[in-house]
Structure 1
């Protein structure tokens, strides 16, 4: 079987679909990729795990004439290669691919589309529903299977779309990398990484930008340190808001309690030593950093949005607070740090829930869809 994976950019395939390629290779499939080559912009990403790569000038902008060029180039490739399955991803990658594959589909090629989060959902703007819903509904007619990664998207697509609809639990998190460790391992790691054994670590992972909203975490820390003077907030990630966050940290006299560590390759070690993980995002799809924390047995306090709502049952396997309610965030963190019995229950429930999102389980779901 020969399979083509498409997306707007090649980094998307590198970051989110290596697991799918592994499944396909395990079944003897030949795998090609068609996407715009943006890997020079990405630190260390390589698309070296497929048989053939086509550099196609997709653009994220629906108005770009590059997508017309991408359509023509892609159609020529599809006509030449005779794929058994064409699996498209990302909004514009999905639209252009399905248009280019119309002729091939009539000849028997199956077309799949993974929706990594519809722009229309409970709480989305009316504009999003008016613009994006009719587009996705129309293009479902050009699709054999739509694959969703959230329960909300699955239920909507199952009810409204003109094709088969499947659900997988995200793109998978490596259970060999993220798992709970005992107190001895945690203490040894803390010492190695320069922290005190009794120091409370609050971890926040994500690009430093306005949507990830780390300023809310900094505001909450001002109250947390009054009760836990040695507590430290670790912000992992780079981004455009770095200077503004550094300024806020200094203004609130939190330079000893907030640490910006940038992009790190040993993120799992920070998950092992974290006492609480937090996310203050205004919008999320299905955030891997939350799954990684839960799989590590770390309780999570996160803001109310569709992605966090998908992963966390408030008060059962984590806590959800309103965006920019830093007092509620502060109170939930303190509650977790102070009440060990509740902490242990939340930790175990989080771990149990996160097991659905492991490589092992998602591989099983992908195999069911394909084979």
Structure 2
């Protein structure tokens, strides 16, 4: 299908523009959605990653920024309303808390406004949850990234949301062996040493503290040598580094900071460990499955929507460092099991999270509501 010159405009709204789940969703949907809509995205705050802006430009998505601080909601509302009024918009699609609160109030009356809930209700502050509830009545439609997210917001009073999973493009995670080996060389990890990987913001929700305790216990029972790379930034970074030192893990755990080469990290890893306390839809775990890396994840509701314990990976109870350590020990000492789980996980992602499939769901939602009154 060729791209129409006179496409209607689809405007995504984000709190900020930096690498993470939301930009990656918009990016992966573009090959299909971009044939039907001229796609833009606007951030309430400043742009933090110019290279990502350039990548979006290359695939036909225009990025805008309003330059508002996180705490200045009135200014964000004023600038967003002014900005949206200057565009001939067909669809506004808002993501995250503040953007989703403001979009129904700031979009032109003739524009259809949709929002996606990316996390369970408890992952937001009470004022944000209440704000979304108050402005929800003016939305055209709403989606949730998992059934667990949908269930949590129904309990809070927001209904009629469709569940649409995040897209994961398996082709992005085809990394050759030589490229993956550069990761081991960077961190001086020998080829015969097993590599564990965790990717995510360094926050309480992601439970890297539990992972460190599990690794400390694993060191005491593990015959084979191993290393752990934790990739990401966040408010708990110094606390986690101090905990690793306290546990004597300075030579076992590497804090890699923010990384743009997550695909290489995944390709180099033997096991992806994801012990989160709560999630909306764990995109990085799905990316690990797409890369053919076995996943060990916490037993939270969203996990069970895509990972079958003992078939496509392993799950372990939340906040249980001992069980997490035992599961790691199990996987580290069973290569055949790792390979079997990894293959099953990759096949599942390819079948159910293909960007083309997810994009068609969004197009159906947009177009199915276009003739309804706002």
Normalising by structure 2, we get a TM-score of: 0.78
User: What pairs up with 1:1-371 in 2 under 5 angstroms?
Assistant: 1-11=8-18, 14-27=23-36, 29-39=37-47, 41-42=48-49, 44-46=51-53, 49=57, 55-56=65-66, 66-101=72-107, 104-105=108-109, 107=110, 109-119=111-121, 136=132, 139-154=135-150, 165-170=161-166, 172-179=167-174, 192-193=185-186, 194-225=188-219, 226-355=221-350, 356-370=352-366
Q: Secondary structure at the match of 1:84?
A: strand
In the alignment, the residues of structure 2 paired with residue 208 and residue 155 of structure 1 have an alpha-carbon distance, to the nearest angstrom, of 26
Q: Is the 8 A contact 1:140 1:162 kept in 2?
A: no
In the alignment, the residues of structure 1 paired with residue 303 and residue 348 of structure 2 have an alpha-carbon distance, to the nearest angstrom, of 13
Given the superposition, is the C-alpha separation of residues 240 and 351 from structure 1 closer, same or farther in structure 2, using an over 3 Å criterion?
same
Measure how far apart 1:337 and its partner are.
Answer: 1.9
Q: Is the 8 A contact 2:210 2:319 kept in 1?
A: yes
In the alignment, the residues of structure 2 paired with residue 162 and residue 241 of structure 1 have an alpha-carbon distance, to the nearest angstrom, of 34
List runs of 5+ in structure 1 lacking aligned partners: none
1:219-243 alpha-carbon deviations (Å, 9 max, x no partner)? 2222323323421112222344344
Q: Is the 8 A contact 1:35 1:56 kept in 2?
A: yes
Q: Is the 8 A contact 2:28 2:169 kept in 1?
A: no
Given the superposition, is the C-alpha separation of residues 68 and 228 from structure 1 closer, same or farther in structure 2, using an over 3 Å criterion?
same
Q: Is the 8 A contact 1:285 1:306 kept in 2?
A: no
Q: Secondary structure at the match of 2:245?
A: helix
Normalising by structure 1, we get a TM-score of: 0.79
Count of residue pairs the alignment pairs up = 351
1:109-131 alpha-carbon deviations (Å, 9 max, x no partner)? 322112212415xxx89x96xx7
1:237-296 alpha-carbon deviations (Å, 9 max, x no partner)? 234434433333333333332222222332222211211110222222222210111112
